[in-house]
Amino acid sequence: MSIVHLDIIPPLQQKMDELIKEFGQIPAERRKLLAQLAQFIQSRIEAGAPVNLNFICTHNSRRSHMAQIWAQAAAARYNIPGVHCYSGGTEATAFDLRAVQAVKEAGFLVTQTKGGANPVYEVRYSQRAAPVISYSKKYDDPFNPSSDFAAVMTCSHADENCPIVTGAAFRIALTYDDPKHFDGTPKESDKYRERVDEIGREILFSFSMVTVRGTNR
């Protein structure tokens, strides 16, 4: 029997339940990395400090958004308070429409609130919680925390070309293959869905290792 947390949107709750059942698919080496992220979150909770996570990729257009959105939802799923998730790039472009569609298909409610070359979206995982505000920006944009955050590098290019993330208290390379390589091919939609599921599965696994006293898991 699944447990609904913070009125998580039913289709998303179903997707979460499916991904949680697939934790066994996560390789041992990835589990070690995900445990490191969980340890950072745990340490902040035990210190009574906010958990600020900034997911960083080169263009802040696909993987970093997916990870940010999943992390905020995972915090709700596992009743972990004080988690604030952000994303950014080494440059700003736009939240790719293919990635937006894949996030919708996973069960998130996505509403565009501003148009233009770099649209702004509200992404909801619950009708009760504040939405995740998603638009492309540099990792050090004023919207994001400037200090005492975890820099989670979601692409190898950003990890290799951004050796110092100013203000980060912790850094981890949790990289994913770019679905962009399949743009315009018959595999495009499948690869975007695959990446959303992979990121969701791993982020949920990481948050599942965090312990918070007095919460119903």
159 versus 60: the higher-pLDDT residue is 60
Summarised one tens digit per residue, pLDDT across range 188-217 is 999 999 999 999 999 999 999 999 876 555
Residue 159 lies in a domain: yes
Higher pLDDT, 105 or 127: 105
Integer Cα distance of 127 and 209 in angstroms:
26
What is the pLDDT at residue 2?
Answer: 38
- Return the CATH number at 17: 3.40.50.2300
Looking at residues 96-106, what average pLDDT do you find?
98
Neighbours of 170 (CB within 10 A): 19
| Percent of the chain's residues with pLDDT above 70 | 95
Q: In what order do the strands lie in the sheet with 168-173?
A: 83-89, 51-57, 149-153, 168-173
pTM for the model = 0.95
In-domain check, residue 201: yes
Express each pLDDT in 39-74 by its tens digit: 999 999 999 999 999 999 999 999 999 999 999 999
Residue 3 lies in a domain: no
Q: pLDDT tier at 163 (50, 70, 90 boundaries)?
A: confident
- pLDDT-derived band of residue 5, with 50, 70 and 90 as boundaries? low
Neighbours of 215 (CB within 10 A): 12
Pairing of strands 120-124, 132-134: antiparallel
Total domains present in the chain: 1
Segment among 81-90, 152-161, 192-201 with least mean pLDDT: 152-161
Which residues, at least 6 apart from 37, have a Cβ–Cβ distance to it below 8 Å?
Answer: 150, 152, 172, 174, 206
pLDDT at residue 96 greater than cutoff 70: yes
Please report whether residue 215 resides in a domain. no
Is 52 a member of any domain? Answer: no
Range of the domain at 188: 10-45+59-208
Give tens-digit pLDDT for 166-177. Answer: 999 999 999 999
In the chain the beta strands, taken as DSSP E runs, fall at 51-57, 83-89, 109-114, 120-124, 132-134, 149-153, 168-173
Which amino acid, 30? R
In three-state form (DSSP H/G/I as H, E/B as E, the rest C), the secondary structure along 69-86 is HHHHHHHHHCCCCCEEEE
Establish if 158 belongs to a structural domain: yes
Tell me, yes or no, whether 213 lies in a domain: no
pLDDT at 18 (0 to 100): 98
CA angle centred on 59, ends 152 and 9, rounded to 5°: 65
- What are the angstrom distances between the C-alpha of 93 and each of 31, 138, 189? 31, 9, 21
